[in-house]
Amino acid sequence: MCGITGFLDTSRNKSRAELESLVTRMSDAIVHRGPDDSGEWVDAETGLALGFRRLAIVDLTPTGHQPMISASGRYIMVFNGEIYNYNEMREELIAKGTKFRGTSDSEVMVESIDTWGLEASVKRFNGQFAFALWDRRDRVLHLVRDRVGVKPMHYGWNGNTLLFGSELKCLKAFPGFDGEIDRNAVALFTRYNYIPAPWTIYRGVKKQMPGTILSFPFDRPGFEPEPQIYWSAKKAVEDGLSNPFTGSETEAIDELEALLRESVRLRMMADVPLGAFLSGGVDSSAIVALMQAESRVPVKTYTIGFQEGDYNEAEYARKVAQHLKTQHTEMTVTPEEARAVIPLIPAMYDEPYSDSSQIPTYLVSKLTRQHVTVSLSGDGGDELFAGYNRYFWGNSIWNRIGWMGRGPRKALGHAMRALSPATWDSVFKTLRPILPGSLRVPQAGEKMKKIADVVSVDSEQSLYFRLASHWKDPESLVRGSKEPETPLTDRSNWPAIPDFTRWMMYMDLITYLPDDILAKVDRASMAVSLESRVPYLDDHRVIEFAWRLPMSMKIKNGQGKWILRQVLYRHVPRELIERPKMGFGIPIDSWLRGPLREWADDLLDENRMRVDGYFDPVPIQKMWRDHLAGTNDNQYYLWDILVFQEWLRKQAS
């Protein structure tokens, strides 16, 4: 895995030395993404500069060095990611007469583009990637991002200069970077706890959408190309629904296991030590089980635990590791170690991002990097095979309340909110001996609070939007903002999906997954120079097959991921896996009332917020008082504001 950056200065008034100096400065800002090597390539005539930082994974020799130049000299590329089917493509190219200098996937990429063209080649690539490709003949810069957004790409015009890079800090390193904060993006952040693509925190700077190619001619300042879509989640979903799997359940399980085994096998390819994150849940356990089935030696697995029992999954991971006989490493994290990550968050993510699982994700990445350079993860299983609680609760809630008028629903929500989450927790604890297993859930009070928030909505889609929202009215919270449309709210681009559950799964696939989950894992792992691979997602064949499966093979008897569980149970006993789903979280709620209170008091100070000028402090202060009093658990709302305020403070310094 690597980091890439560069710029295209259409004024073309800089010398070669100036171009090299500037792009080196930009690439040095992301040395953590590639500590093993660096490279630059510039063309003073066109104002182009490409920068690269390398984390050596495949072909550790100098022949894997980037920028990579095609044998013909036409194409120059900087590339972040891995192409897992490159050996197969290499053999095809050799048969056509291509001669290779080394054994890297990046060389196969530029030679395939030279042979088959850019779009045709990208459609062949199986992997995770973001790359910049300079066409010397046509003098066009192409930016390309993988199908689902595993690897990041940011870009934007700064005057007459197009800037791009793996992280925003590359762009910020360019002299004179115009870092105006976009209040509309702040509104989106308070809604979702992340800033969805194509927006970033800076006005005029964008995240490239997944599955697209952007092409910039060298002589058109300010040009905004129409994205060329080479793969579409919408089309993949519609194709899957129109061509459903018609075999038996056993045939479906066999086919899914074969696809996943192939995906895992390809992602175990590396010239450096490799391991896996293991939480003990379905998704990561299935990946580790298939890794061990493909390996002649014990797979290295890693997990972290917490002293707080409600947040500790380590014992489940340990049991799975013992059964599979992996070489398992476990670390119990103290509250002090977890809280020490908070000051690192603004620089790690470059923009406000407040999914609190960012902290344990960084800690497990840090632990893993002490032993290996590559780690496989189970991200994507929930979105493809229906694992999130909202896929059951959403349908269940709407089926029970949809027939009511909105007035009665509002009254029901008000009645449910009359009890605090702590009281609901106490009620569920008291009733636990007589409750069915499906209702014996951890953090029940917080789930009841979410249900109370959504019962008054007017449609299924509004219910999902409410579930996906943190602050429910960002425009009144963020001064001077107008909340933009997102893929979640733009009905004109919704695919034709026959049922609410699959509609939610699609929305998660194109929004929450790339902009929250994958962004979290990329920044946390690359912050410690660890490559993370995602077998469920960076092999598009798995995604496309999953969408051909009927819902009856995903949700059965009130439980999600049925077919994935059947694959897993071929390798791990059912009793080691069957338990209520836990989030990968930390006890922010109690920390804010205890060791983080002074820090939070400072950042939430009413006068401070008025001077900063971004938030109306009145609703925030009320949230803070209610949280401190224990009448409401407002940790998620408050964490959003605290993360933004801390990011803003670091910006000023």
Which residues belong to the active site? 2
Helix/strand/coil (H/E/C) assignment for every residue in 494-507 = CCCCCCHHHHHHHH
Rounded CA gap, 466 and 471, in Å? 9
Whole-angstrom distance, CA of residue 236 vs CA of residue 218? 34
Kindly give the residue spans of alpha helices, DSSP state H, lying in 344-443.
Answer: 345-349, 358-369, 381-385, 390-401, 406-417, 421-431
Gap between the Cα atoms of 596 and 588, Å rounded: 9
Q: What are the start-end ranges of the H helices in 402-497?
A: 406-417, 421-431, 444-454, 460-468, 474-477
Which of 230, 239, 4 has the alpha carbon at shortest distance from 121?
A: 230
What is d(CA 480, CA 550) in angstroms, rounded to the nearest whole number? 46
Respond yes or no on whether the N-terminal peptide bond of residue 35 is cis (omega within 30° of 0).
no
SS (H, E, C) 35-81: ECEEEEEEECCCCEEEEEEECCCCCCCHHHCCCEECCCCCEEEEEEE
Dihedral, CA of residue 158, residue 526, residue 540 and residue 131, to nearest 10: 40
Identify the CA nearest to 33 among candidates 78, 87, 85.
Answer: 78
Beta-strand pair 205-207/154-158: antiparallel
Closest CA to 198 of 209, 189, 187, 188: 209
Cα–Cα dist 337/307, whole Å = 11
Q: How many CA atoms lie within 13 A of 195 on its CB side?
A: 26
- Alpha carbons 545 and 15: distance in angstroms, whole number: 51
Q: Residue 167, Cα to own-chain centre: how many angstroms?
A: 14
**Gap between the Cα atoms of 463 and 457, Å rounded:** 6
Nearest to 6 by CA among 130, 139, 170, 205: 170
